[in-house]
A and B are shown apart, each in its own frame.
Chain A
Amino acid sequence: MTSAIAVSGLVKAYGPARALDGLDLTVNTGEVHGFLGPNGAGKSTTIRVLLGMVRATSGSARLLGGDPWADAVALHRRLAYVPGDVELWPNLTGGEAIDVLGRLRGGLDGRRRNELIERFELDPRKKARTYSKGNRQKVALVAALSADVELLILDEPTSGLDPLMEAVFQQVVGEAKAAGRTILLSSHILSEVETLADRITIIRDGKAVESGTLAQLRHLTRTTVAADTATPVTGLERLPGIHDAKVEGASVRFGVDAEHLDAAIRHLTRFGITSLVSHPPTLEELMLRHYERKEAA
């Protein structure tokens, strides 16, 4: 068994609206798979189909070698799930909620649970009604990450976490990966998945538009560079792979294809760089690039 999740041609229709429109998604066993897309692209619907909560209209979905609808209960013993918007029972404490969720799955590792509570700085004795969104999120994360499961399905799991806790989350997911777990990490923020993900699938309007390693996807696209120079930059437009160059006095801003980045920076140094900022393509830029390529074709 090499793929933990194998989805092909998945369609979910709500009346005339199609939340999923022929989605393909393959997650290999043992990898961290980034599942990216803008709001409303169909990420959560896909996950609900995979969890057997929603029945697909057509297409096929296999999860850990089983049928997500028919074998839901048996499969759920082997996976843990964290939604992006966690609601808890207001009159149970956070600690109680963690245990309930763990036990419903067939038990959790108590030592791991306590360690995670400490690392996420969660007070498990407080009633859930007093928790902020971030703290409710931590409850679901601790319950999921202290379970001894093969697959973690995380749907925008860090919404509401502060940057320090996000760093803890990244470490813990890294440990889960090292322990051999497969992780499906859905997000609409590329930076959140890029440090963790082995492969990425980008979806939009219920269809997968790109799939591959981040390097492969990056290769298709371009880096944004903004620099201040001692003298105004000239001759940039003659270089290959430069897009949307804008020179305003001593400031310059342009996009550059990955394979031409080296040449572009060499060119800039001739004008005396005083400040340089470059950032990798955002999700939005990946998406835009995708559409540009589609139109060009």
Chain B
Amino acid sequence: MTATLTPARSRTGSRAESGQLTGTVAMVRLALRRDRIKLPIWLIAITALVPRFYYAAVSAVVPTPEALANASQMIRASFMRVLAGPLFGDVTTRSYFLAAYWVEFLLAAAIMNMLLVTRHTRAEEQTGRAELIRAAAVGRQAQLAAALIVSLIGNAVLALLTAAATISIGFPVGSGLLFGASLAAAGLVFAGVTAVTAQVTELTRGAGGLAGIVLVAAWLLRGAGAMQGQEGGPLFWLSPIGWSQQTRVLAGERWWPLGLSAVLAGLLIAGAYSLASRRDLGASLVTPRPGPASAPSWLRSPFALALRLQQGSIVGWGAAFLAIGLVLGAMTGGMEQTDLPIFSADADFGRAWISLMVFTGSLYTGVFAVLAVIRLRTEEVRGRVAPVLAGPTGRSTWYWSSLLVTALAVAALLAVYGAALGAGAALSTGDPGFVGEVTRASLLRVPEALVLLALPAALLGLAPRAMSVAWAVLVYSGFIQILAPNLGLPGWLTNTSVLSHIPWHPLGSFAPVATVVLTVLAAVLATLGLYGLRRRDLVTG
């Protein structure tokens, strides 16, 4: 060392120089700075849903005691318990609010944490930013620790905000805090799950996808457990989402089920650390196999390229649809017979349940379609479209090829989902007629999904910065349609939902006018998108 150099000294002098966690505080600050917009939006959005849902529930059940009784009876029906409930204790507007929407809050908290943890762990490694960070005086475990600390902070704030919101709608203070804590607990468990999956796969999407599979499994277990009994059977107790609900807010409250969540989160985090300390930066437990050295002979047109680029996502969604369809279909046989006004059009409850599930499949297919089109924008922004368009491929060919692949995938996914749902129903009821009937019912919903596909496509051309509006429309349409029957919404309001025009019961009803109108609307929106795309500047690199 020469005299001209003054060696840099640690600012955190007392800390062990080679600590695995050195730099964690700075990493937390960096993460909070990066998330200064994203995290508050998540927290405020989830909190705002409390009064939003509560007043929706109030308007549904306050008018008359009969309305409250009817709504509660519906939520207690076995097939609704899969999605909502359980309804603990006495029926009031507040307990109804919890029964109807608690699961949604728990899912939202889980997803917030999954995105947060992948964003600050695997995504950093995949982009190579982690390499810049780790070349500084930052310990090997500091990034993971920082991600988990930020998640802890986010969950604590979420607990306090949602507690305040529930207290503002009339919950006792203790109940509000317990409700908030139940969301934070589910959030922490899924932060832990994602911390583990981030060690397992090399790509961010893989880490998020694996955590998503765990979330769906937890949700399905909770649903299956809910069918086992009014207040949740043994399977309910196998799901972290179930633990949060077993705190029985407003009806015999108890904090101890959250202890299960804390223990599981602790174990998962310990597991993630142990895995992380065994691997190289950027490496993963599952190493990707080498791919083919040359392109297959079919990969020679813009359409084939679009298919190749979307192939992984289509196959993944198809597998998920197959599994979820089978599981949901298999629940048909166990449905209890309940007298419910909203399903009076259906002869039996099995078919009422299937109708609801076919509709849910359409909603998920909408999610797939919106994601697929938003990915086109990502392709453009990352500069991956420019080399294609610099060749003899025109904008309109690129655009239609990409949309056609997604449209065909939408139809295929609905067919797979319908067939799986029908097969599950046929197996559990012994009625083979379900397979064809449910597949047909599912395919009848293709025009809806096409509109949900064409809307972001229109935005891609006309207002690419506003593509997330497509999410808002999807969520709005889903809510309106799910709420419509028990809110008694006026017809004009219901009609503003994309998902309200193809009837969902009786099973397999065909509405020719709606089918034609939706298909034409999709075509018009998609054409408008091309109109915009041909006139605007492309973003390159």
Contact = CB atoms under 8 A, between A and B. Distances in A.
A177 B137 CA distance: 22
Interface of A is mostly: loop
Interface string A270-287: 000000000000000000
Contacts of B139: 72-73
A52 to B, nearest CB: 8
Contacts of A228: none
Nearest to B130: A53
A103 B131 CA distance: 16
Interface in A96-146: 96, 100-101, 103-107, 132-133, 140
Contact of B19 (A73, A80, A132): A73
Given A30-B2, A54-B281, A101 B136 contact: yes
A81 B313 CA distance: 36
Q: Which of B19, B129, B139 has the most CB atoms of chain A within a 10 A radius of its CB?
A: B129
A71 B18 contact: yes
B268 interface: no
Q: Which of B5, B6, B139 has the most CB atoms of chain A within a 10 A radius of its CB?
A: B5
B492 to A, nearest CB: 40
A150 B129 contact: no
Interface string B21-63: 0110011001001100100000000000000000000000000
B282 interface: yes
B286 interface: no
B7 interface: yes
B195 to A, nearest CB: 19
B494 to A, nearest CB: 39
Given A78-B7, A87-B127, A180-B2, A104 B138 contact: yes
B8 interface: yes
Contacts of A14: 287
Given A51-B135, A91-B37, A104-B23, A74 B18 contact: yes
A238 to B, nearest CB: 48
A166 to B, nearest CB: 21
A149 B283 CA distance: 29
Nearest to A67: B18
Contacts of A153: 135
Contacts of A104: 23, 26-27, 133, 136-138
Given A83-B131, A101-B136, A48 B281 contact: yes
A181 interface: yes
A204 B19 CA distance: 35
Contacts of B137: 73-74, 76-77, 104-106
A35 to B, nearest CB: 16
Contacts of B133: 101, 104
A83 B23 contact: no
B281 A101 contact: no
B282 to A, nearest CB: 7
Nearest to A90: B34
A29 interface: yes
B10 A106 contact: yes
Contact of B11 (A81, A83, A107): A107
A291 interface: no
Contact of A81 (B3, B5, B135, B281): B135
Contact of A83 (B1, B27, B128, B287): B128
State which size class the interface on B falls in. Answer: 35 or more
Given A1-B1, A78-B7, A91 B34 contact: yes
B74 to A, nearest CB: 45
A262 to B, nearest CB: 39
A258 interface: no
A21 interface: no
Interface in B127-159: 127-129, 131-140
Contacts of A87: 127-129, 132
B17 interface: yes
B465 interface: no
A148 B8 CA distance: 6
A1 B1 CA distance: 8
Contacts of A107: 8, 11
A77 B280 contact: no
A163 interface: no
B14 interface: no
A88 interface: yes
A73 B23 CA distance: 9
Contacts of A81: 131-132, 135
A19 to B, nearest CB: 11
Contacts of B280: 48, 53-55
A70 interface: yes
B490 interface: no
Given A83-B131, A103-B26, A180-B4, A92 B140 contact: no
B541 interface: yes
A164 interface: no
A92 B34 contact: yes
A153 B287 CA distance: 28
10 contacts: A48-B131, A51-B135, A76-B135, A76-B136, A88-B129, A96-B33, A104-B133, A104-B136, A105-B8, A150-B1
Interface of B: 1-11, 17-19, 22-23, 26-27, 30, 33-34, 37, 127-129, 131-140, 280-283, 287, 541
A-B pairs with the 10 shortest C-beta distances? A180-B2, A81-B135, A104-B136, A53-B281, A74-B17, A87-B127, A54-B280, A105-B136, A77-B137, A180-B4
Interface of A: 1, 14-15, 29-30, 48, 51-55, 70-74, 76-81, 83, 85-89, 91-92, 96, 100-101, 103-107, 132-133, 140, 147-150, 153, 179-181
